[in-house]
Structure 1
Amino acid sequence: MNIETKAPIIGAIDVGTNSFHLIVATVDSRGMLHTILREKEVVRLGASGGDIKFLTPDAIKRGVETLKRFVDIARSKNAEIRAVATSAVREATNRQEFIDLVKKETGIDIEVISGIEEGRLIYLGALHSLPIINQKALITDIGGGSTETIIGYKGDILYVHSEKLGAIRLTVRFGLDDEVNESKINECRQYIRGVWAPIFYKINQIGYDVLVGTAGTILNIGVMTLLQNEKPVPDVLNGTLLARKDVLKTIKRILNAKTLKERKLLQGLDPQRADIIVGGALIFEFILENINIDKLYISTYGLREGIVYDTLEKKKEIETLQHLNRLRESTIYSIANQYGVNLKHSLHVRDIALKIFDATSNIHKLGTREREWLEAAAILHDVGYHISVDQHHKHSYYIISHCIMPGFTTDEAEIIANIARYHRKSHPKNKHENFQRLSEEKREIVKKLAGILRIAEGIDRRQIQAVRDVEVVQKNSNVIIRLIPAENTSYPDVELWGAERRKLLFEEVTGTKVTFTIGM
C-alpha cells in the first residue's frame, strides 16, 4: 500500500530552542499517523544567553541552513510544509530578521506560536499516541527555552501553562554546561521552586489521573532509566511506563556527575545533550517531586505530531465549512463575548466582507488562510469599544494583539489585529509601529483585507443592517457592489455614503475602481 497517495502529506517542522525537527507524515481515515520520514538537527538557536533575547548571527546561519535542508527533503516528498517556532524565536528581539531570511532562502513562512498554543499542539500530539482521551492527563514537555504543562480531558484542555524554564535557559543562567557543584545545583533548584511552586499548587488543585512526558530531555532520561534498571530499550519508546522513583534515581546519577566528561560516560545519555542535561534534569526533578502520582508514560508524539494533526484538521474543516475551524471560531467568539462586541453588527459586516472577498478573488489573489483572517478581524473589529469609543480601532489592535488566542499563531494574531486596526480612520502607513513590524508580504495582505473590511463596515454604517445583502460583480478592473436594502427601511443613503468614504484603500491596493448601486 502506498500511503503517500492516500491523504495529504504534511511536512511539519518544529523550530525549537535546542533542536529542529522535521516529520513528513500523513493521517489515514482512522486517524492513524503514518510517518514517511523524520529528521533532527541540534541547532542551538537559543544559545545566546539566559533570557534568549537575541539570535546570534551564527545561530541564524545554522538555523537557515538546517531549514533549507529540511524544506528540500519535505518538497521531495511533495509535502505541504508548515514550520512552527517556539521559545527562542518568539522571545528574540531580532526574530523578524531570522523569519525574513528563512522566507528568502526557502520560500516558507515561519509561524511563531505562543506558549499556550505550543501547549495545545503538544496535547494534540500526545492524545494521538496514548489511550488517554478518557483520562485527566497531565502532560509535560521540557524544551530548551520553556517547559509546557497541560491538563487535558476528552480532547479539551482544562489547563495550560508555559514557563520560561528550559534546559538551555537554565544551563546558561547557572553555568551548568561543564563543572557543577552543590551550590550551583541548589541555586538552580531554588529558582525553579520560586518560579513554579504556585503553578504546581494550581495543577494539583485541578487534579489528574496520569502523567505523560514528552520531548528530548524526558525521552533521553527515560532511556537512561531503562538501562539503569537493566531493562531492554524498545525500538519504539512510546507508551513506556516508568516508575517515578526509578526516574529520580537516574536524575540523581546525572547530578552526581560533576563534569561534562563524567556525564558523557553515563550509560544512555545522548552526547549532544550532555552539556544541557543538568538543567533539564532539575526541571524534571521538580515535576516528579511535586506531583501526586507514582508512574509516568513516555510519549514520542508531541509538538510536531500535533502540527500534523492540527494542519489536517484545519484543512478539512475549511474545505468543508468554508469558514473558521471550530477551535479558532470558539476563540474569536470567546473574545467577542468577553469584550461585549455587538455581534449582530459584526457578523453582518463579516458576511458582507466575505462576499466581497469571494467575488474579487482573482483581483486580490488571496486564499483560504487570508479569508479566515478577514473573518476573524471582521468579528472583532469593534472590540476596542470596550476601552473607549474614541480611537476604538487602535484599542481593537491592542486587545487582539495581547489576547491569548488558542488555534492562532502569534503572527496570525498580529495580522488580525492590524486588519481590525485599519477598519476606519488612517490607511496603513509604514511609520505606524504596528504595521512596520510586519514583513512586506504581510503588509500587502493587511492592506487588501483592511480595504475590504472598511467597505463592509461602511455598508453597515448605522449598525442597523439597513442594507440586508450585497451583490458583487467584478468586470476587469471595475468592481460593482449593489446594496440591497432591508424591507421596511428608509433609503440607505448613510450606508452608501459610508461605503463611498471607505473604498479608497481597496482601490489603491488592487488598482480597481469600486462603484456602488442600490437595488432591490
Structure 2
Amino acid sequence: MEKLPIIAAIDLGTNSFHMVIARINKTGSIQILSREKEMVRLGSSGKDMKFLTPESIERGLSTLYSFSKIAETFNAQIRAVATSAVREASNKNIFIQRAKDELNIDIEVVSGVEEGRLIFLGVIHGLPIADKRILIIDIGGGSTETIIGEDNEIDYVHSEKIGSIRLTKLFFANGKYNSKNISDARKYVRGDWMPILNKINSLGFEKVVGTSGTITSLASIVLALKDSKIPDFLNGITVSSEEIMGVIKLITNCKNSDEIKQIPGVEAKRSDIILAGSLILEAAIEELEIQEFTISPYAMREGILYDCYSKIQNTPARLNIPNFRNETISNLALRYNVLDNHSNFVSKISLELFEATRSIHKLGNYEKDIMHYSSLLHDIGYWISHDQHHKHSYYIITHSDLPGFTNDETELIGTITRYHRKSLPKKTHTEFANFSPKTQYIIKVLSGILRIAEGIDRRQRQYVKDIKCCFSNFVEIKSRLEIELIPETTKASIDIEKWGANRRKDLLEKVLNIDIKFY
C-alpha cells in the first residue's frame, strides 16, 4: 500500500510560528512526530498591520530556516500558512518571495474565514466534540476568530481585527498599566466586537472551546494557582469562567509586565501581551455569558494537516468520532508493536465480562469504549521493559499525543492499564488519588475486568477461545459470577488459564461485592 507523505504544517501567526510534523495514514488519523514553536512577533501594529519591519522579516525567515531543517530530517513536505500580520502587510510579497527564493518554501496567505475553517478542522479532530454545537474562540496576536459549528459543519465564522499584540500596541505600548488605559481598551474591544458577539448570541451554542496562546496561558495560570499539575498538552482541560475571571483580575491589578511575570504559571515571553488578550476574552465571557471553557491545543496547524490529507485523498475533511478514536488507539498500539492476537483477545474477553457484569457495575457505553481502548494498550509498556511494564504502559499512554481524546481520558486509560497487574489501586498512588471518587470506581471496575481477561490468556496463546458467564445467588448478601472457560480444542489443557484468572479476580470481586468462580 502506498504511504501518504509526512507533512510539516507551519502556522505563521502574528505572535508565534508553530510547526507540527505528522504522518497521516489512509484512515485520516495522525501520528505526531515533532512539534516546534518560536515567538517571532511578525506583526507589531496597533491598527492595520500595514508593514512588516525588516527586523521582523529576518526573524521570520530565520525561524522558517530552522523549521525547514527539522522538516528535512523527517523528509516532510512543508505547507506554510500565514495569517493576519502577513495578509495585511503592504510589503508581504517581499517576505513571501524571500521565503521562496532562499528557503524554497511557498507561503499561503489565507483569509480570516479560511483561517477559521482550518482552526475548526483542527479542534474537532483534537476533541471528541464534533457532535455538539460548539463555539470556538481563538485569540491570536493580530485577530480573534470565532467559529460556530455542529456535526462537522461550520455554521458561522468571523475574524475580527483585535488581537493581543494589536491591542497592546494601541493601549499599552509604554508598558505601563492603569485604570484609564485598561478602561479604554475594554471600551474599544466591546465597541468593535459587539455586533459579532450579538450575532453569536443569536445563533446559540452548547459548548465553548478556547484555543491558542491567550486562552491556554490563562488556563495554565488557573492550574498553577491551584497547585495542580500542568500537562504539557492541555487537551480537553475544563476551566470555569469564574476561575478565568479571577486570573484576569490578578492581571489587571498589575502595573506592568514585570509584575505579571510574578503570577504563577505566566509564560515570561507572553507577559507583555497577556493583559490585552485577557481583556478580549473578558468581553466574550461577559457578553456571551460563558460558564466554562474546554481547552484545545489543537488549532490551525492541525487543521492544515487534516486539510492536506483531504486534498491528497480527494475526500471531504469530515470526521467520524468513534472510528477516529479507534484509529488513534490502533495507531499507537501498532507504533509500539502491541496490536496483536493477545491484545485483541484480551479486549474481546474484557468486553464480554463488562456486559456480563453491567447489571451490577451500572456503567454505560462510554466506559465500555474506555475498556476497549485500555485492553488494546495494556501491554504497551513492553516497549520499554518487561519489568514493571504496567507502569511503563501508564507512562507511554499519558505522554502520547492522542487526537480525539482529552487529557482526562488519556490519564484514565493510562491508569487502567497501570493496574492490569501487580498492585491494586491505592489512595497512596498519586495517579489514582487525583481522580474523583466516581472515576476511581470506574478505574477499579475496568482494571478488575482487565486483570481477569489478562489472566484468562496467561500464556498469550489463546488456548481459551471464549467464555460463558452466568450469575447465581449462593448466599444472601453476595452473587456468584460463574465463568466457564471454553478451550480452543478439546485436547487443550487450560489449567494455567484458570490459575491465571483466579490469581487476578480479587479486585473485581471486591469492588462489585461478588464471588467469582471459574470452570
Q: How many angstroms apart in 1 are the aligned matches of 2:154 and 2:280?
A: 23
Aligned to 1:106: 103
What aligned pairs does 1:340-419 form with structure 2 within 5 A after superposition?
A: none
1:417-443 CA distance string (max 9 Å, x none): xxxxxxxxxxxxxxxxxxxxxxxxxxx
CA contact (8 A) 1:176 1:276 kept: no
Structure 2 residue 149 is matched with structure 1 residue 152: yes
> Cα distance 1:35–1:53, how it changes in 2: closer, same or farther (>3 A)?
same
CA contact (8 A) 1:49 1:172 kept: yes
User: 1:175 is matched with which residue: 172, 177, 196?
Assistant: 172
CA contact (8 A) 2:238 2:294 kept: yes
User: 1:292 is matched with which residue: 283, 289, 294?
Assistant: 289
1:307-365 CA distance string (max 9 Å, x none): 000011111108xxxxxx799xxxxxxxxxxxxxxxxxxxxxxxxxxxxxxxxxxxxxx
> Cα distance 1:305–1:326, how it changes in 2: closer, same or farther (>3 A)?
closer
Structure 2 residue 74 is matched with structure 1 residue 67: no
Deviation at 1:171, TM superposition (A): 0.3
Q: How many angstroms apart in 2 are the aligned matches of 1:103 and 1:13?
A: 14
DSSP 3-state at the match of 2:43: coil
Structure 2 residue 312 is matched with structure 1 residue 315: yes
Deviation at 1:293, TM superposition (A): 3.4
User: 1:195 is matched with which residue: 192, 195, 201?
Assistant: 192
DSSP 3-state at the match of 2:230: coil
Deviation at 1:144, TM superposition (A): 0.4
Q: How many angstroms apart in 2 are the aligned matches of 1:104 and 1:174?
A: 38
User: 2:78 is matched with which residue: 77, 81, 84?
Assistant: 81
Aligned length, in residue pairs: 317
Q: How many angstroms apart in 1 are the aligned matches of 2:146 and 2:45?
A: 25
Structure 2 residue 263 is matched with structure 1 residue 266: yes
Aligned to 1:39: 36
DSSP 3-state at the match of 2:223: helix
Deviation at 1:232, TM superposition (A): 2.0
Aligned to 2:22: 25
Q: How many angstroms apart in 1 are the aligned matches of 2:121 and 2:203?
A: 20
Counterpart residue identity of residue 78, structure 1 = N
Q: How many angstroms apart in 2 are the aligned matches of 1:246 and 1:301?
A: 22
Aligned to 1:56: 53
Q: How many angstroms apart in 2 are the aligned matches of 1:211 and 1:326?
A: 22
Q: How many angstroms apart in 1 are the aligned matches of 2:22 and 2:251?
A: 35
Deviation at 1:258, TM superposition (A): 1.2
Q: Which runs of 4+ in 1 moved over 6 A?
A: none
CA contact (8 A) 2:284 2:290 kept: no
Counterpart residue identity of residue 143, structure 1 = G
Aligned to 1:234: 231
CA contact (8 A) 1:171 1:177 kept: no
Q: How many angstroms apart in 1 are the aligned matches of 2:217 and 2:265?
A: 7
> Cα distance 1:6–1:226, how it changes in 2: closer, same or farther (>3 A)?
farther
> Cα distance 1:235–1:44, how it changes in 2: closer, same or farther (>3 A)?
closer
Deviation at 1:130, TM superposition (A): 0.8
Q: How many angstroms apart in 2 are the aligned matches of 1:14 and 1:177?
A: 29
DSSP 3-state at the match of 2:314: helix
Q: How many angstroms apart in 2 are the aligned matches of 1:30 and 1:296?
A: 30
Q: TM-score, normalised by structure 2?
A: 0.59
DSSP 3-state at the match of 1:309: helix
Counterpart residue identity of residue 81, structure 1 = I
Aligned to 1:15: 12
CA contact (8 A) 2:306 2:317 kept: no
Structure 2: gaps spanning 5 or more residues: 319-519
DSSP 3-state at the match of 1:179: coil
Q: How many angstroms apart in 2 are the aligned matches of 1:146 and 1:268?
A: 24
Q: How many angstroms apart in 1 are the aligned matches of 2:179 and 2:205?
A: 33
DSSP 3-state at the match of 2:41: coil
Deviation at 1:256, TM superposition (A): 0.9
Deviation at 1:221, TM superposition (A): 0.6
DSSP 3-state at the match of 1:290: helix
CA contact (8 A) 2:18 2:38 kept: yes
Counterpart residue identity of residue 203, structure 2 = I
User: 1:138 is matched with which residue: 123, 135, 138?
Assistant: 135
Q: Give % identity.
A: 50
Q: How many angstroms apart in 2 are the aligned matches of 1:31 and 1:295?
A: 30
CA contact (8 A) 2:307 2:317 kept: no
Aligned to 1:483: none
Structure 1: gaps spanning 5 or more residues: 319-324, 328-520
CA contact (8 A) 1:45 1:59 kept: yes
Q: How many angstroms apart in 2 are the aligned matches of 1:274 and 1:6?
A: 43
DSSP 3-state at the match of 1:281: helix
User: 1:243 is matched with which residue: 236, 240, 243?
Assistant: 240
1:35-78 CA distance string (max 9 Å, x none): 10011111111024532110000110111111111111112211
Q: How many angstroms apart in 1 are the aligned matches of 2:78 and 2:189?
A: 36
DSSP 3-state at the match of 1:128: helix
Counterpart residue identity of residue 231, structure 2 = P
Deviation at 1:291, TM superposition (A): 1.8
Q: How many angstroms apart in 2 are the aligned matches of 1:103 and 1:113?
A: 17
Counterpart residue identity of residue 125, structure 1 = G
Q: How many angstroms apart in 1 are the aligned matches of 2:290 and 2:179?
A: 28
Q: How many angstroms apart in 2 are the aligned matches of 1:304 and 1:46?
A: 19
1:238-262 CA distance string (max 9 Å, x none): 0001111011101111111111210
> Cα distance 1:309–1:271, how it changes in 2: closer, same or farther (>3 A)?
same
Aligned to 2:331: none
1:163-192 CA distance string (max 9 Å, x none): 000000000011256210010001000000
DSSP 3-state at the match of 1:252: helix
User: 1:206 is matched with which residue: 200, 203, 228?
Assistant: 203
User: 1:281 is matched with which residue: 278, 282, 291?
Assistant: 278
CA contact (8 A) 2:28 2:309 kept: no
